[in-house]
């Protein structure tokens, strides 16, 4: 099989499919068909796969992590502020793929820290601290959630956008693990594809009804075709485009949806 897709081309495909997915999210009540969202099932695996590639090749891993964190903060503020400024009941705005990407990249950092413990104990201990932060903050946030009736709602909102948790990020812990396995098997493309197929099967909940109507997360398996076609080359650079495009297109689609409702 001739491998022709560069990272740039994969990003473009992911962005196009993402728009289809979000058009369905924002305009489903106008009769947008479910297949728009089916196409969108490929989006998360594409960007998780590319995050593993990007984290491997980036010369400044901490800057990569910082950029994802800032993206998470910006999108978190939008998710909270936009529905307050422009209420629109048919649409729930909880879009923040930056949180999933951030947690995935942090687990990659921890993996490297544990793998290279003997050569770099400092990074290993930092990895221990990062894992403690991820699991500790997840537990802390879920405790807040369980006692939300006794908590000022603004305090809860602040903590919801301060840092992502394993249970509230887009896709939950499953996608974080998928990102990690993409990184672990980065030089073993077949293993990456098998891992994706296994995760796609798990995403059905082993319930095989409604596979073409409601239970559609398994369609992420089709990302395997794109991964198999990946050439390993970067192609054109578009470092900042996704960071800008993601929040901007969400805002535009939400506003149009509210105005047309």
Q: What is the dihedral of CA 247, 26, 221, 57, to 10 degrees?
A: 0
pLDDT tens across 86-134, in order?
999 999 999 999 999 999 999 999 999 999 998 999 999 999 999 999 9
Contacting residues for 59 by C-beta, under 8 A, at least 6 apart: none
The closest alpha carbon to 105, from 138, 143, 65, 75, belongs to 65
> Domain ranges in the chain?
7-260
- Rounded CA-CA distance 53/11 in Å is 12
Residue 53 is given by DSSP the state H
The answer to whether 164 and 141 are in contact (CB under 8 A) is: no
pLDDT value of position 151: 83
- Rounded CA-CA distance 3/10 in Å is 12
pLDDT value of position 2: 61
Q: What is the percent of the chain with per-residue pLDDT over 90, rounded to a whole number?
A: 90
Could you tell me where the beta strands, DSSP code E, fall in 45-98? none
pLDDT value of position 3: 66
pTM for the whole thing?
A: 0.95
Handedness of CA 8, 13, 16, 17 (dihedral sign): negative
* Residues forming beta bridges with residue 230, ordered by sequence position: 5
- Rounded CA-CA distance 168/145 in Å is 11
- Rounded CA-CA distance 170/92 in Å is 13
pLDDT value of position 148: 86
Which residues in the chain show pLDDT less than 70? Answer: 1-3
Question: For the chain, first and last CA: distance in Å?
Answer: 47
**Tokens 């075709």 — which residue?**
225
């Amino acid at each position: 099989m001739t491998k022709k897709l560069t990272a740039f081309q994969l990003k473009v495909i992911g962005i196009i499919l993402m728009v289809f997915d979000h058009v369905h999210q924002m305009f489903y009540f106008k009769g947008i068909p479910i297949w728009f969202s089916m196409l969108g099932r490929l989006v998360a695996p594409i960007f998780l796969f590319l995050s593993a590639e990007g984290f491997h090749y980036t010369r400044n891993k901490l800057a990569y992590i910082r950029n994802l964190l800032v993206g998470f903060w910006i999108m978190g503020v939008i998710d909270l502020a936009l529905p307050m400024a422009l209420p629109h009941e048919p649409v729930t705005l909880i879009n923040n793929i930056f949180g999933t990407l951030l947690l995935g990249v942090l687990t990659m950092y921890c993996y490297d820290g544990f793998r290279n413990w003997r050569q770099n104990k400092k990074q290993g201990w930092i990895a221990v601290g990062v894992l403690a932060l991820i699991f500790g903050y997840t537990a802390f946030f879920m405790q807040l959630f369980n006692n939300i009736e006794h908590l000022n709602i603004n305090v809860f909102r602040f903590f919801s956008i301060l840092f992502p948790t394993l249970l509230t990020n887009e896709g939950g812990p499953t996608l974080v693990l998928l990102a990690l396995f993409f990184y672990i098997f980065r030089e073993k493309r077949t293993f990456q594809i098998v891992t994706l197929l296994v995760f796609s099967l798990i995403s059905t909940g082993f319930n095989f009804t409604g596979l073409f109507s409601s239970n559609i997360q398994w369609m992420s398996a089709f990302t395997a075709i794109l991964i198999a076609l990946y050439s390993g080359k970067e192609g054109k650079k578009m470092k900042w485009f996704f960071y800008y495009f993601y929040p901007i297109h969400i805002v535009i689609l939400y506003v149009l949806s509210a105005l047309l409702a």
